[in-house]
A and B are shown apart, each in its own frame.
Chain A
Amino acid sequence: MDNTFDIIVVGSSFAGSFFLHGYLPKARKDARILVLERGSKDSGLQQWASEKTFINRTPEKPWAYVIGFGGGSNAWWACTPRMMPNDFKLKSTYGVGVDWPLTYEELEPYYTEAEKVMAVSGPDNSPYPRSQPYPQPPHRFSDPDRLLKAAYPNQHFPQATARTRVATANRPPCCGSAVCSACPIGAKFTTINEMSHLYKDPRVTLLLEAQALAVETAAGQAKGVRYLKDGVEQIAKADLVVLGANAIFNPYLLQRSSLDHPLLGKRLSEQFSMGVKIYLDGVDNFQGSTSINANGYMLYDGPHRSQYAACMIEVQNVPFVRVDKGRWRQVCYMKFIFEDLPNEKNYVTVSATNPNLPETVHKGFSAYTQRGMDTLPDVLPKILAPLPIDRLDISGPSHGEAHILGTTVMGNDSATAIVDKHMIHHQVRNLMVLGGSVFPSSAPANPTLTLSALTLWAVDRL
């Protein structure tokens, strides 16, 4: 194989696939793009995060990822709310955390494009400003949702989701099996079911079971990627290198490439949640049409964020019964998802005991997040007052939300950021880093739609 390309993309998950989606329409007819995917296409051989691929020095905080063609898109739950405008300016609005180097308004058109690709189902009105309606109509509410909607018309919405409400050309409508991590009917968006055509483009060479080892650089320029394939190390050369791995492997690759920076690998973060089981009095539940019906924004944005974390409420429709004669469906489960502030005590680094593996250290979420969680016992009776309730069972905090963020942070100042606002490495100007690793903060909203939109935003400037 001729190992010289115009572009090398590492990873075939959301970042890698949305890069191709944005770039191919404007690429030259004779462009050569190599995609290095560590995993295989065989779903039976997909690897979940394990000690074979990383060392977790603080195993009480597990991390979840999938290695395989399509990456995390094979395992996500397809929740696609946008971040709120103030999530991008937490520091300047509330005096905490970090501001993003771009605004919601700048990213908005790319949110719209990403939602179109995923065929997102969402509400007619939404908690954030939109220039276009959602591609698909909203999912059906449950009866408790209808009560909450009546009480909070501008704060309780059908969840924006890439689980179909109506069929697309490639996907049937969601039927509420509620095992979305491995959707048995293919209703959930994955890069395999909706973006595979990109990898069949004659300009794209997809190399499976090819593990990127490091970015080759010389004189401050990326020259290519060293990778391992069939036990043999090889070098592919390119004019532009794009890292689209997750927030454990992106910084690890940069560290292995000796592209050091005081913040590289630091601020490993994600959201944390509390669970609330609500035993209802006389109201049946589970009439919704998908696994998660709604998002509540009653605790999200506001002056409280100067003191404690924002929270997004997720109303689940994963069925389970109440063990109470005749009251089988009078129960509801909600997740209260809290943002966390970035903290350098949580990080990814090259393992000292085995440099062929990254290792993670996470010493806990912030006091800011804890203060948010501490408000729940007082706040819940007021927020849930529209529901007739027998009892509440509060559990948690969770070990996390299966996201990985923050380790190659984006920003305008090269002293405090790895990549600039267009996701180009501050020092190596033909190296891009995409994905959740660039997030300066972990807002309560699920990050996948945002990282996909950011990828389109970055590609648009190439």
Chain B
Amino acid sequence: MKRKMSRRAFIISSTVGIFAVATGVWSVKSGYLNTHDRMTKTIFAVFEKRLSYLKWDKAQVMSFIKDFLTHTRNKGYLKKIQRLSFFYPLYAHTNWLERTSFAGKIRSFEERIVTKFLFSTNFFREGADETKQVKYLSYYDPYKMPCQNPFAQWQ
């Protein structure tokens, strides 16, 4: 004899199914399934979350992110960004991760990105003036352009 699904079971399974489909659609449309896109968005989220008060240009930031992700000396670090990027929605849209035991690692990630970006710009060279436009000059690589550390005082 065919067993009838109860109304409760039908509602639950329908809800789960709709949620799964919606998640799938969102994953594809948002680029979440694409690793490179996900990493790019995760790094960009640092700018939106932490540097919103600075005057930066989105196109220049994207150019920096592209340079960061393709720089040979960052190869070993990309795996860490990949792992973090799985949590991109949580990182980008909430502060939950900062309240977990991962908070220190999140801070380190943000510091690394922001350091590299700001050292690649005119920001510290022009007195860290937050009212001025931040211009991306070239990717900061002390191996290729030594003695450009804006903090060093070797006199």
- Given A321-B115, A325-B53, also A289-B152 (CB < 8 A): yes
Q: Does B146 contact A (CB under 8 A)?
A: yes
Partner of A326, one of B104, B119, B130, B143: B130
Write 28 A-B pairs (CB below 8 A) sorted by A numbering: A140-B153, A140-B154, A173-B154, A174-B154, A175-B147, A175-B149, A175-B152, A176-B149, A177-B142, A177-B146, A178-B142, A185-B146, A287-B151, A319-B150, A319-B151, A319-B152, A320-B111, A320-B112, A320-B115, A321-B115, A323-B51, A323-B107, A323-B111, A323-B114, A325-B53, A325-B130, A328-B128, A393-B104
Is there an interface contact between B148 and A288, defined as CB atoms closer than 8 Å?
no
Is there an interface contact between A329 and B104, defined as CB atoms closer than 8 Å?
no
Interface residues of B (CB under 8 A from A): 46, 50-51, 53, 104, 107-108, 110-112, 114-115, 118-119, 124, 128, 130, 142-144, 146-155
Give the shortest distance, in Å, between A6 (CB) and chain B (any CB).
41
Q: Which residues of A contact B130 (CB under 8 A)?
A: 325-326
Q: Which residues of A contact B104 (CB under 8 A)?
A: 277, 393, 395
Is there an interface contact between B149 and A289, defined as CB atoms closer than 8 Å?
no
- A312-344 to B contact mask, C-beta < 8 Å, 1/0: 000000011111011011010000000000000
A-B pairs, 4 with minimum CB distance: A176-B152, A175-B147, A286-B151, A184-B146
Q: Which residues of A contact B108 (CB under 8 A)?
A: 277, 393
Is there an interface contact between A393 and B107, defined as CB atoms closer than 8 Å?
yes
Is there an interface contact between A177 and B148, defined as CB atoms closer than 8 Å?
yes
Give the shortest distance, in Å, between B136 (CB) and chain A (any CB).
16
Q: Which residues of B contact A289 (CB under 8 A)?
A: 152-155
Is there an interface contact between B50 and A175, defined as CB atoms closer than 8 Å?
no
Q: Does A379 contact B (CB under 8 A)?
A: no
Cα distance, A173 to B147, chains bound together (Å): 11
Give the shortest distance, in Å, between A332 (CB) and chain B (any CB).
12
Is there an interface contact between A175 and B154, defined as CB atoms closer than 8 Å?
yes
Cα distance, A178 to B147, chains bound together (Å): 9
Is there an interface contact between B114 and A321, defined as CB atoms closer than 8 Å?
yes
Q: What is the chain A residue whose CB lies nearest that of B128? A: A328
Q: Which residues of A contact B114 (CB under 8 A)?
A: 321, 323
Indicate the member of B112, B146, B148, B150 with the most A CB atoms within 10 Å: B146
Q: Which residues of B contact A290 (CB under 8 A)?
A: 154
Extra 19 A-B pairs, beta carbons < 8 Å, given A175-B154, A176-B151, A277-B107: A140-B153, A173-B154, A176-B153, A177-B147, A177-B148, A178-B142, A179-B143, A184-B143, A185-B146, A286-B151, A286-B152, A287-B151, A287-B153, A319-B115, A319-B149, A320-B112, A323-B107, A323-B114, A331-B111
Q: Which residues of A contact B119 (CB under 8 A)?
A: 319
Q: Which residues of B contact A182 (CB under 8 A)?
A: 143
- CB within 8 Å of B: which A105-157 residues: 140
Q: Which residues of A contact B154 (CB under 8 A)?
A: 140, 173-176, 289-290
Is there an interface contact between A329 and B147, defined as CB atoms closer than 8 Å?
no
Q: Which residues of A contact B112 (CB under 8 A)?
A: 320
Cα distance, A43 to B51, chains bound together (Å): 40
Q: Which residues of B contact A326 (CB under 8 A)?
A: 130
Q: What is the chain B residue whose CB lies nearest that of A140? A: B153
**Binding site secondary structure of chain A:** loop
Is there an interface contact between A177 and B149, defined as CB atoms closer than 8 Å?
yes
Q: Which residues of B contact A175 (CB under 8 A)?
A: 146-147, 149, 152, 154
Is there an interface contact between A323 and B143, defined as CB atoms closer than 8 Å?
no
Q: Which residues of B contact A178 (CB under 8 A)?
A: 142, 149, 152
Q: Which residues of B contact A323 (CB under 8 A)?
A: 46, 50-51, 107, 110-111, 114
Q: Which residues of B contact A185 (CB under 8 A)?
A: 146-147
Give the shortest distance, in Å, between A69 (CB) and chain B (any CB).
20
Give the shortest distance, in Å, between B70 (CB) and chain A (any CB).
19
Q: What is the chain B residue whose CB lies nearest that of A322? A: B111
Cα distance, A288 to B152, chains bound together (Å): 6
Indicate the member of B112, B130, B143, B152 with the most A CB atoms within 10 Å: B152
Cα distance, A407 to B150, chains bound together (Å): 43
Cα distance, A433 to B108, chains bound together (Å): 43
Cα distance, A70 to B53, chains bound together (Å): 49
- A289-326 to B contact mask, C-beta < 8 Å, 1/0: 11000000000000000000000000000011111011
- CB within 8 Å of B: which A168-193 residues: 173-179, 182, 184-185
- A378-394 to B contact mask, C-beta < 8 Å, 1/0: 00000000000000010
Q: Which residues of B contact A329 (CB under 8 A)?
A: 151
Cα distance, A321 to B130, chains bound together (Å): 15
Q: Which residues of B contact A328 (CB under 8 A)?
A: 118, 124, 128
Q: Which residues of A contact B144 (CB under 8 A)?
A: 184
Give the shortest distance, in Å, between B124 (CB) and chain A (any CB).
8
Cα distance, A109 to B62, chains bound together (Å): 57
Give the shortest distance, in Å, between B103 (CB) and chain A (any CB).
8
Q: Which residues of A contact B124 (CB under 8 A)?
A: 328
Is there an interface contact between A179 and B50, defined as CB atoms closer than 8 Å?
no
Cα distance, A287 to B152, chains bound together (Å): 6
Give the shortest distance, in Å, between B78 (CB) and chain A (any CB).
18
Q: Which residues of A contact B149 (CB under 8 A)?
A: 175-178, 319
Q: Which residues of B contact A176 (CB under 8 A)?
A: 147, 149, 151-154
Partner of A184, one of B50, B110, B115, B142: B142
Cα distance, A185 to B114, chains bound together (Å): 26
